[in-house]
Amino acid sequence: MSPSTRGRFITLEGGEGAGKSVQAKRLEEKLKSLGLEVVRTREPGGSPQAEALREAILSGFAAPFGPEGEAILFGAARIDHLDTTILPALARGAWVVCDRFADSTRAYQGVAGNLPAAYVARLEQVVVGPNSPDLTLILDIPAETGLKRAAKRRGKGGADRFEAEALAFHQTLRRAFLDIASAEPQRCAVIDALKPPKDVAAAIWSVVEARLDPTSAPKPGP
Ligand code: TMP
């Protein structure tokens, strides 16, 4: 695909209850207000096959496979999501805003799940290859606050496979996401997600404007 007409690929990452979904919607609206075509999607999921795998993973059905098996299932879902949703959208010039992507595998299965970094890196190379995001926004929030927010959001429903992990797991995740941001500062930006949603949205927008210049991006034809 030609680099000049290709859309841009933005991912939002972070622990539980960081407000990624709300911010992904706000970012979608803001980009659309500039006349851009935007595809907002999520992982695991974002295509019919990958949504089916989401059910299997988040219900805990795949937990007996261990982090290694779960990482492979997230990878299988990601391959389908890339092939059927993300890459076609980018190729036609759409901007893709994705709630979680490969950094979640690095943090959840890799660091918090104790998988060797080389295994996770090799899997990412196979699954994602050259299709890394142009920009990754890491929404940072203390683990305790995020878990409380996530519990409030889901009301009486039970915690999913990963929300149900102990606090130490979620504290490790926070560190893992911050370490990814430090290791890849050109791709990643850390956003303070403790602030009110409108302030978080403003912080996100200033990073998107500065790094990807959406006002100058080619708009879809009539
Ligand atoms: P959420 O996006 O609604 O938070 O749910 C997705 C859950 O799946 C969340 O707990 C993070 C977890 N997850 C992984 O463990 N690895 C991955 O690669 C992805 C995309 C998500």
Q: What is the pLDDT of residues 184-216, one digit of tens each?
A: 999 999 999 999 999 999 999 999 999 999 999
Residue 21 banded pLDDT, cuts 50, 70, 90: very high
Q: Is the peptide bond before 44 cis (omega within 30 degrees of 0)?
A: yes
Evaluate whether residue 222 is within a structural domain. no
Evaluate whether residue 1 is within a structural domain. no
Confidence check: pLDDT of 1 > 60:
no
Evaluate whether residue 147 is within a structural domain. yes
Confidence check: pLDDT of 2 > 70:
no
Mean pLDDT is lowest, of 3-7, 20-24, 177-181, 197-201, for: 3-7
Confidence check: pLDDT of 153 > 60:
yes
Residue 156 banded pLDDT, cuts 50, 70, 90: confident
In this prediction, residue 220 carries a pLDDT of: 82
Evaluate whether residue 2 is within a structural domain. no
Confidence check: pLDDT of 126 > 90:
yes
Q: Ligand 1, atom 18: nearest CA belongs to which residue?
A: 105
How far apart are the CA of 195 and the centre of ligand 1, in A?
Answer: 23
**Mean pLDDT computed over 123-152:** 97
- Tell me the residue range of the domain where 155 lies: 9-216
Q: Ligand 1, atom 10: nearest CA belongs to which residue?
A: 162
C-beta 177 within 6 A of ligand 1: no
CATH of the domain at 152: 3.40.50.300
Token pair 């959840």 is found at 108
How far apart are the CA of 4 and the centre of ligand 1, in A?
Answer: 32
Evaluate whether residue 178 is within a structural domain. yes
In this prediction, residue 219 carries a pLDDT of: 85
CA–CA distance, 63 with 43 (Å, rounded to integer): 17
**Mean pLDDT computed over 43-67:** 95
C-beta 162 within 6 A of ligand 1: yes
What is the best residue among 57, 82, 100 to mutate for testing ligand 1's pocket, by most ligand atoms within 8 Å of CB? Answer: 100
User: What pTM did the predictor assign?
Assistant: 0.96
C-beta 113 within 6 A of ligand 1: no
C-beta 105 within 6 A of ligand 1: yes
Evaluate whether residue 221 is within a structural domain. no
How far apart are the CA of 63 and the centre of ligand 1, in A?
Answer: 13
Q: Where are the alpha helices (DSSP H) in 39-113?
A: 48-58, 66-81, 87-91, 102-104
How far apart are the CA of 172 and the centre of ligand 1, in A?
Answer: 15
Confidence check: pLDDT of 221 > 90:
no
94 neighbors 37 (Cβ within 8 angstroms): yes
Evaluate whether residue 60 is within a structural domain. yes
Structure tokens given for 85: 């949703």
Q: Please, which residues bridge with residue 95 across strands?
A: 38
Evaluate whether residue 180 is within a structural domain. yes
Number of domains in the chain: 1
